[in-house]
Amino acid sequence: MKNIALLTSGGDAPGMNAAIRAVVLTAHHYNFNITGYFHGYNGLIHNESKSLSLTDVNGIIGRGGTILKSARCPAMLTPQGIQQAVASLEKDQIDALIVIGGDGSFNGLIEISLLWQGQVIGIPGTIDNDIDHTDFTIGFSTAVNTAIEAIDKIRDTADAFERVFIVELMGRNSGHITFNVGISSAAEQILSFENFDCADTTARLTELSEDIKRVQTNRHASYLIVIAENLWPDGCSSLAQQLTEITGIDCTPCILGYIQRGGSPVAKDRLLATKLGVASVQAINEEKTHLMIGEQNNAVVFIELIEAVKHQKKVNSQLIKAQKDILSVTNQTQI
């Protein structure tokens, strides 16, 4: 009988609970013991844990957040913290560790594997969708839907006042959310790392200002810009103020923030989380280790952890090209 440990780490993502449920159900199917550590790696370091039963996961598939809680863990960036984590695993006689999280969580798992002989498995759970070799990460689809719903409401107010709104979206240093939400909400402009160079802010401000004035003069309608967080110096509030001063048109910033990380997961995330959760325990049963469980073309795949964290995954090039050549308001000569 194996003893499996499970934790959720880093930023929460809708669907983490669905993955926890799948892991627990599958562990009990194989007669494995399953222990959950609370508050990410902090709970592992400080040995804050609970044996997980089938009752613990009843009714959680549709809940946002994570019943195991989550947190950043600066201690895992130190040799002492990693050693403490390994000591807890050895003390609790854990045979395999499953971590649901993003690249930072996976890097912690890799460091643990250098000092510990147990099996290590990662499940990609992050709204940023920036993990390599998996088409989607748990939480991404829900975050996109949440942002679209919010922007649809913002558009109503923008239309009513013929106003410019600048909506900042999460994604850290990746434009997956920004492009998917921007195109799905018919934004006039999408500003992200993949298509917008902020090296010359003066030139970028001039271009945006000219587009805004042209649209407002000829169409008298709303103008929506979606922008990736961490792109514009000092954020979207600064961009809105600068554009207002240049154009003389009210530009309103709107930071959606953590609303994108909460809420009940959509069906796509529930299904993805369940598939990956089941496959993670099956991999442990087959003595596999040092893997991330991902999905490509609707099929479960096993990827070396070290390959999953290289940040080579790009936004779909067709989306970028369509926005650049066709969908951007800049290309619309007849307004």
Q: Is 179 helix (H, G, I), strand (E, B) or coil?
A: helix
Q: At what angle do helices 140-161 and 267-285 cross, to 10 degrees?
A: 160
Active-site annotation holds for 132: no
Contacts of 58 (CB under 8 A, 6+ apart): none
CA nearest neighbour of 284 among 9, 7, 100, 30 = 30
Token representation of residue 252:
């309103």
CA distances in angstroms from 100 to 56, 59, 81, 88, 177, listed in the order given: 18, 19, 19, 18, 20
DSSP summary character for residue 138: B
Phi-psi domain of 55 (left: phi exceeds 0; alpha: psi -120 through 50; beta: other): alpha
Catalytic choice (128, 130, 211, 269): 128
Q: At what angle do helices 79-91 and 103-113 cross, to 10 degrees?
A: 70
Token representation of residue 293:
């469980």
Q: Which residues are catalytic?
A: 128
